[in-house]
């Protein structure tokens, strides 16, 4: 879906591809396992008639696996195929950091990619960055999301059903149905374990804000550096309010409260060897940054699997 206007992350708006299947625990691993020794996955892997047997799921689910692998950054699209990154291989290879995608860190990284970076996941980004109501239903979100989509591209007309399906898939990924659904609804969604969203009454949802015990400081720091690189490159300091409340920030995307953010920021210097440091002087709360490389950012992810 080509767009003339893009989101803050520079990616075009996108409202389809998952075939209405929420992301399941082993799907990212299934996609990764199709890579050859060079980290390349041929495009035919997802389109050949043999794909159904190779993945062990139906045709629509194969398309969904392809979508989620792209949306979560497991692979990137190139002219002749898809390529798996080195950090992804470190995590998902058979002797890797999390070969079965069981560690909560893998789910948190997927959530950050969807709601923080927003590649092929406009609804996810919008939900976690723009919805501020204490409770909401899918129906209440449809028109505000449609307006957001129109603002991104006034010429493109999304149907109400497309918006509704995308929202339903997003919400079920974080808060799966507990009763009355089909067997498909009970398949383990990868993001459900994060407890970011709860169904407080039938069809009514609320964010769970707070410390997030399963969110490792390494993932938080990785997200902070990533957010900083994309939104404030060149700045040597970042205000607490920006980290906690700015669109696409770790505080907003992870639904953290101020106290738990501050506690994590206190630990930055030790975690990064002084490359990030928290100061609170004369009421000015901010993080200072020294030289940080992409490898430093990736090292934060590795720490999260220790």
**Sheet of strand 237-239: strand arrangement:** 237-239, 284-289, 276-281
Average pLDDT over residues 68-83: 95
Has residue 186 got a pLDDT over 90? no
Task: Give the model's pLDDT for residue 187.
Answer: 62
pLDDT of residue 221: 98
State residue 5's pLDDT score. 36
Give the side-chain half-sphere CA count within 13 A for 69.
30
Beta-carbon contacts of 261 under 8 Å, excluding residues fewer than 6 positions away, are: 240, 243, 244, 250, 251
Q: What is the pLDDT of residues 129-163, one digit of tens each?
A: 999 999 999 999 999 999 998 888 887 778 899 99
Query: What HEC string does 1-21 produce?
Result: CCCCCECCCCCECCCCCCCCC
Is the whole model's pTM more than 0.85, yes or no? yes
Q: Which residues contact 108 (CB under 8 A, 6 or more apart)?
A: 194, 214, 215, 216, 219, 254, 304
For 168-189, give one letter per residue: b (16+ CB within 10 A) or e. ebbbbbbbbeeeeeeeeeeeeb
Whether the pLDDT of residue 23 is over 50: the answer is yes
pLDDT surpasses 90 at 297 = yes
Is the pLDDT at 283 greater than 80? The verdict is: yes
Digit-coded pLDDT (tens) for 226-268: 999 999 988 999 999 999 999 999 999 999 999 999 999 999 9
Percentage of the chain modeled with pLDDT above 90:
81
CA 29, 31, 36, 40 dihedral sign is negative
Q: pLDDT tens-digit profile of 192-231?
A: 999 999 999 999 999 999 999 999 999 999 999 999 999 9
Does 182 have pLDDT greater than 60? no
202 exposure class (CB count in 10 Å sphere: 0-12, 13-18, 19+): exposed
Mean pLDDT of all residues belonging to the chain: 91
- Please tell me the predicted confidence (pLDDT) of residue 178: 58
Tens digits of per-residue pLDDT, 33-71? 999 999 999 999 999 999 999 999 999 999 999 999 999
Domains of the chain: 27-207 (no CATH), 217-304 (1.10.10.1420)
The pLDDT value given to residue 116? 96
- According to the model, what pLDDT value does residue 3 have? 29
**What is d(CA 237, CA 61) in angstroms, rounded to the nearest whole number?**
44
**What tokens were used for 294?**
């992409």
Give the pLDDT band (50/70/90) at residue 11: low
Percent of the chain with pLDDT over 70: 92
pLDDT at 14: 85
Averaged pLDDT for residues 269-295: 94
Most confident of the following: 103-112, 171-180, 284-293: 103-112
Answer whether residue 6 shows pLDDT above 70.
no
**Those residues with Cβ within 8 angstroms of residue 243's Cβ, 6 or more apart along the chain or in another chain:** 224, 227, 249, 250, 251, 261, 265, 287
Nearest C-alpha neighbor of 212 from the set 172, 264, 270: 264
From residue 167, alpha-carbon distances to 15, 109, 219, 285 in Å are: 9, 21, 26, 36
Which residue spans within the chain are E strands per DSSP?
40-42, 75-78, 81-84, 136-137, 197-201, 204-207, 237-239, 276-281, 284-289
């Amino acid at each position: 879906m080509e767009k003339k206007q893009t989101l803050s992350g520079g990616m075009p708006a996108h409202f389809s591809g998952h075939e209405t299947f929420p992301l399941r625990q082993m799907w990212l691993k299934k996609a990764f396992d199709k890579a050859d020794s060079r980290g390349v996955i041929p495009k035919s892997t997802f389109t050949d008639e043999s794909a159904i047997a190779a993945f062990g799921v139906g045709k629509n689910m194969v398309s969904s696996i392809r979508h989620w692998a792209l949306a979560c950054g497991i692979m990137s699209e190139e002219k002749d195929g898809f390529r798996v990154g080195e950090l992804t291989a470190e995590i998902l290879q058979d002797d890797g950091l999390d070969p079965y995608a069981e560690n909560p860190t893998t789910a948190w990284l997927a959530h950050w990619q969807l709601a923080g970076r927003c590649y092929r996941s406009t609804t996810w980004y919008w939900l976690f960055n723009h919805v501020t109501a204490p409770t909401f239903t899918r129906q209440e979100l449809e028109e505000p999301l449609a307006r957001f989509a129109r603002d991104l591209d006034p010429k493109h007309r999304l149907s109400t059903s497309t918006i509704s399906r995308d929202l339903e898939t997003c919400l079920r990924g974080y808060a799966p149905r507990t009763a009355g659904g089909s067997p498909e609804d009970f398949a383990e969604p990868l993001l459900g374990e994060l407890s970011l969203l709860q169904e407080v009454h039938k069809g009514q949802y609320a964010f769970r804000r707070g410390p997030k015990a399963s969110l490792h400081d390494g993932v938080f720091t990785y997200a902070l550096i990533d957010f900083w690189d994309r939104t404030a490159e060149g700045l040597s300091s970042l205000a607490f309010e920006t980290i906690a409340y700015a669109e696409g920030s770790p505080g907003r995307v992870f639904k953290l409260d101020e106290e738990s953010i501050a506690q994590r920021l206190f630990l930055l210097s030790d975690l990064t060897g002084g490359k990030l440091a928290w100061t609170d002087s004369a009421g000015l709360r901010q993080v200072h940054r020294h030289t940080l490389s992409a490898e430093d950012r990736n090292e934060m992810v590795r720490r999260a699997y220790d």
